[in-house]
Amino acid sequence: MASFLSYGVEKDFLNTLKNLARVQIEGVAGPRNGKQCRSSGNFIPLLNMGIPTNVVMALMLGALLIHGVRPGPF
């Protein structure tokens, strides 16, 4: 969802919509950054409270626990 939202915002701000994803780097860089911000934001509840937000974060929690990192307020 974040990629599509970023793409829509880029389309609104760019003056020329012709060849948005092929020629102008903004058509590719904006949606990619939106996707990366979404995935890095999932680490906040994982590291602060120890609550995984999805399956990937649950696997990351398991990996952190194996390596001795205790996520949470303590």
- For 30-70, the pLDDT digits (tens) are 667 766 776 778 888 888 898 898 898 899 999 999 999 88
Tokens of 30: 């904006």
The phi, psi pair for 72, rounded to 5°, reads: 130, -175
| 50 and 37 within one domain | no
* Residues 1 and 22 reside in one and the same domain: yes
Instruction: Say if residue 49 is in the same domain as residue 37.
Output: no
The pLDDT tens digits of the residues spanning 23-35 come to 566 666 766 776 6
Residue 11 pLDDT greater than 60, yes or no: yes
Q: Does the CA dihedral 38-43-49-50 come out positive or negative?
A: positive
At residue 52, the 3 state secondary structure works out as coil
The boundaries of the domain holding residue 66 are 43-74
The verdict on 6 and 33 lying in the same domain is yes
2/25 same-domain check: yes
Tell me: do 11 and 36 sit in the same domain. yes
Amino acid identity of residue 30, one-letter, is G
- The confidence band for 72, taking pLDDT boundaries of 50, 70 and 90, is confident
